[in-house]
Amino acid sequence: MTSAPNQRGSIFSGLLLIFLGAVFLFEHFHPAFRLWHYFYRFWPLLLIVWGLAKLIDHLSAQRSGEGKPPLLSGGEAALMVLVVFVFIGLGVKNWVAEKEPGMNLDVDMFSKDYSDSEELPAKPLPANAHLTLTTERGDISAHTGEGDGLRVMAKKSASGPTEPEARERMKKVKVVIEQTGGGYVVHPVNQGDSQGTVGVDLDVMLPPKIALWANTSRGNISISEIAGPVTAGSGNGDIEIHNSGSDVSAKMSKGDARITGVAGNLSIAGRGNEIEISDVKGNAGIDGDFFGPVRFRSVGGTARYHSQKADVALVGVRGRLELDSEQIEISDVSGSSKISTHDKDIDAENVSGRLDITDTKGDIKVRYSQSPREDINIADDSGEVDVTLPSNANFEVSAMSQSGEVQSDFEGSSLQLTNENGTGRLSGKVGTGGPKIHITTSYGTIYLRKSS
């Protein structure tokens, strides 16, 4: 009676353990490296390693006369699941670190956060000089003070298993003031190390007649009372700018922005959440996808908003412009207004200039407390249109709903109203005539109302 040959063990488990250990070692020395990104792209290499291991097992079993190992044992399956969960965990960690830079994600349970502050020697700045403030990770605060001096307070923060180790990390970071051909630069040196990035907050007091550029990859920016032009950029954080005596430009990737009191023009670009703009003497423009709400109040020039879902341009916003994911509201505009959007309701009130609205899958309401002075053009697709005018208004109207009806509170021999075969039409002149009102919708009711 012959016994069955001994079954050969597989080398796949050993290769997986070596691979997993190498991953942990690499992550320890390079925490900023996006391992999940590469695993997502090259995960089929695990199948290649698995296949090579099984081929080696098969050939070795033939030479030794041992039984071939199974295609996948329970232990090997558990190890493969462990590898996948390790990479998912690293991916989640990197994603949270990008989205929430202030959150401590150190896996060492004995690691603690420590901070220290230092004040740099004051430095005189000439009038109208250009100053740049930058930090890889940390907040920037800039405000004016007495005299012509530049004063910098730097707050460093780092984590470590012990306070001496954390302070040693902070000690290696130096905050310097450098004079360049274009002005002065304040920035940390050696901010990144093998354990990550040492946070450096900059609190700067400077003379008002200065041109300022501030940038942080991860942190908030607060700037006030600067007479010269201001440029601010935050990769992940909020931006606040108040009482600027010239133009303001801001770029952001995430966060909120609140900008008030701009003597020149204002521009905001990128992506983010809530935006609030008020008291801008010149033009104010936003270009990007901001989830809102986005608010404009008191813009002397043209208020513009451009995104994938909306394109708005209003001249002279004495009241407000507000946008969110569901609707657009405007009120008290002294000049022309042009709105193009989809999947949003529109509410417009008291536009003195020409009004042009194009919408898709949204309802439109327009109200006037005084008789309109310029033409009104409204084109809607799959939505109701509701226009309210004073009872003594003078205008010409042409309205049609292709799959709906038209209702009008205005009457007169010169008005022709028909609702036949599922289509509503209204045309003619009210009073002595005046600006032309043109309304169309593919589906929905058109209301022409008198204000009470």
Q: Which is higher by pLDDT, 278 or 55?
A: 278
Q: Which of 49-53, 303-307, 374-378, 410-414 has the lowest mean pLDDT?
A: 49-53
- Please give the average per-residue pLDDT across 27-55, as a whole number: 63
Question: What whole-number percentage of the chain has pLDDT above 70?
Answer: 78
Q: What is the Cα 235 distance to its own chain's centre? A: 9
Q: What is the pLDDT of residue 399?
A: 97
HEC profile for 182-203? Answer: CEEEEEEECCEECCEECEEEEE
- Please give the average per-residue pLDDT across 181-191, as a whole number: 90
Q: What is the pLDDT of residue 107?
A: 46
Q: Which of 24-28, 82-86, 93-97, 319-323 has the lowest mean pLDDT?
A: 93-97
Q: What is the pLDDT of residue 9?
A: 57
- Please give the average per-residue pLDDT across 226-240, as a whole number: 95
Listing DSSP states for 283-334 in one string gives -EEEEEEE-S-EEEEEEEEEEEEE-SSEEEEEEEEEEEEEE-SSEEEEEEES
Q: What is the pLDDT of residue 104?
A: 46
pLDDT band at 1 (very low <50, low <70, confident <90, very high): very low
Q: What is the mean pLDDT of the chain?
A: 86
Q: Please determine, for residue 448, whether its predicted confidence score (pLDDT) is greater than 70.
A: yes
Q: Which of 74-88, 206-220, 224-238, 345-359 has the lowest mean pLDDT?
A: 74-88
pLDDT band at 157 (very low <50, low <70, confident <90, very high): very high
- Please give the average per-residue pLDDT across 138-149, as a whole number: 87
- Please give the average per-residue pLDDT across 135-163, as a whole number: 89
Q: Please determine, for residue 273, whether its predicted confidence score (pLDDT) is greater than 80.
A: yes
How many angstroms separate the CA atoms of 6 and 141, rounded? 72
Please give the structure tokens belonging to residue 279.
Answer: 């008291």
Q: Please determine, for residue 307, whether its predicted confidence score (pLDDT) is greater than 60.
A: yes
Q: What is the pLDDT of residue 75?
A: 61
Q: What is the pLDDT of residue 64?
A: 66
Q: Are strands 423-430 and 416-420 parallel, antiparallel or unpaired?
A: antiparallel
Which residues are CB-contacts of 15 (< 8 A; sequence separation ≥ 6)? 49, 53
Q: What is the pLDDT of residue 23?
A: 66
**Could you report the per-residue pLDDT of 62-95, keeping only the tens digit for each?**
676 666 666 666 666 666 676 667 666 666 665 5
Q: What is the pLDDT of residue 141?
A: 97
Listing DSSP states for 36-76 in one string gives HHHHHHHTHHHHHHHHHHHHHHHHHHHHHTPBPPPSS-HHH
pLDDT band at 189 (very low <50, low <70, confident <90, very high): very high
Q: What is the pLDDT of residue 18?
A: 75
State the Cα torsion 120-122-128-130 to the nearest 10°. -20
Q: Which is higher by pLDDT, 103 or 406?
A: 406
Q: Please determine, for residue 120, whether its predicted confidence score (pLDDT) is greater than 80.
A: yes
Q: What is the pLDDT of residue 109?
A: 43
Q: What is the pLDDT of residue 370?
A: 93
- Please give the average per-residue pLDDT across 225-236, as a whole number: 95
Q: What is the pLDDT of residue 301?
A: 97
- Please give the average per-residue pLDDT across 234-262, as a whole number: 96
Q: What is the pLDDT of residue 92?
A: 65
Cβ atoms of 284 and 266 closer than 8 Å? yes
Q: Please determine, for residue 112, whether its predicted confidence score (pLDDT) is greater than 50.
A: yes
Q: Please determine, for residue 98, whether its predicted confidence score (pLDDT) is greater than 60.
A: no
